[in-house]
Structure 1
């Protein structure tokens, strides 16, 4: 088989994958190494790191337990959560991204999979993080995505989602010179909170910070924390 045939085979979509899932996977497969290098110091800022630290404290105070970093990419957030004392594993669509995550975090577990169809039993997680990983999911699929997050969390479990705030998507075309293109959806925090509540979450906190223009950000960044209700007996 020629190298061209190898590349075509590696980019062939699974029959079970939705179109946007395939597009997202191919995009991140192509840019994995460049992306990991560009965002290597992403969590060094005090505000974003504090959001994750607050989440970790919530999980620990609630009794602790396993946490999933959903859409983990190269594993920066997974590693950071682990450093905060959480037993955590990562899930991502892109095998090249997962290869970087395993290389950088050899003591942690990383799995290939889609957030929309998690290979995780019902009500087994103490926490879940979607750190800028819902931004490629079309708005009409967000209810299904948040329902899946709700399914895998135990009662009292916490969810943290991060996303760009706004109304219009950002499209990246040929990033780092790679022949791929992808939309990065921006959302209104109040609309995302409503979707989380409709999926069964109690929204416990909302944080929005201004764009860091020195880092190339062009929109505000939003962070929502939700909790799966504990049944009243």
Structure 2
């Protein structure tokens, strides 16, 4: 995603991941980016540090309390008028699963879009777009991937940026 954003406009990208392999891919795709091997649950940035925060399926391996903590921090790190992209899965009950990309069972948590939106709204994020995509699992069950786009507000008033700023997230 960072590579696509950088193709639109020159951006300063900061990224964190627990996977050194994912960070290597990020460094190849965005050579000027700053990337850290770090746990999102322990990440620390100044308040209102970022113009945009991207959480691409990063809460799906966290329990509810951990996910709430990461989301609360992301909102805190986001400047007023800044954008939030969040993707997660709706589906079955949380638990350990094997996947096509890991032979070891991994913990997966499934969230409800309405609950996530409620949490974000309570923390100053207004959703302005939601995309849902069904995904057929190997066992025949269906998982829904949810992609939310939101904007941090000041009180009840949304801070609008010029159109060229909005193009960055498309």
TM-score, normalised relative to structure 2: 0.76
Query: Partners of 2:147 and 2:80 in 1: how far apart?
Result: 21
Which is richer in strand?
A: 2
Question: Quick one: structure 1 residues 107 and 190, their matched pair in 2 at CA, closer, same or farther if it must change by over 3 Å?
Answer: same
Q: 2:17 aligned with 1:92, yes or no?
A: yes
1:142 paired residue among 67, 75, 94: 67
Query: Partners of 2:6 and 2:95 in 1: how far apart?
Result: 31
Larger relative CO (CA 8 A, sep 6+): 1 or 2?
2
Q: CA deviation at 1:96?
A: 3.0
Alpha carbons 1:202, 1:228 under 8 Å: kept = yes
Gap runs ≥5 in structure 1: 1-76
Query: Partners of 1:159 and 1:200 in 2: how far apart?
Result: 11
In the other structure, the counterpart of 1:64 is: none
In the other structure, the counterpart of 2:161 is: none
In the other structure, the counterpart of 1:123 is: 48
C-alpha RMSD of the superposition: 2.7
Q: After the TM superposition, list the runs of 4 or more consecutive aligned residues in structure 1 that deviate by more than 4 angstroms.
A: 174-178
Which is richer in helix?
A: 1
What is the correspondence of 1:208-227 to structure 2 with a 5 Å cutoff? 208-211=132-135, 218-227=142-151
Question: Quick one: structure 1 residues 167 and 181, their matched pair in 2 at CA, closer, same or farther if it must change by over 3 Å?
Answer: closer
TM-score, normalised relative to structure 1: 0.57
What per-residue deviation string (whole Å, max 9, x for no partner) do you get for residues 7-42 of structure 1?
A: xxxxxxxxxxxxxxxxxxxxxxxxxxxxxxxxxxxx
Question: Quick one: structure 1 residues 195 and 86, their matched pair in 2 at CA, closer, same or farther if it must change by over 3 Å?
Answer: farther
Q: Secondary structure at the match of 1:115?
A: coil
Query: Partners of 2:102 and 2:31 in 1: how far apart?
Result: 30
Query: Partners of 1:114 and 1:128 in 2: how far apart?
Result: 15
2:93 paired residue among 163, 168, 191: 168
Alpha carbons 1:163, 1:221 under 8 Å: kept = yes
Gap runs ≥5 in structure 2: 158-170
Query: Partners of 1:86 and 1:207 in 2: how far apart?
Result: 26
Query: Partners of 2:99 and 2:126 in 1: how far apart?
Result: 39
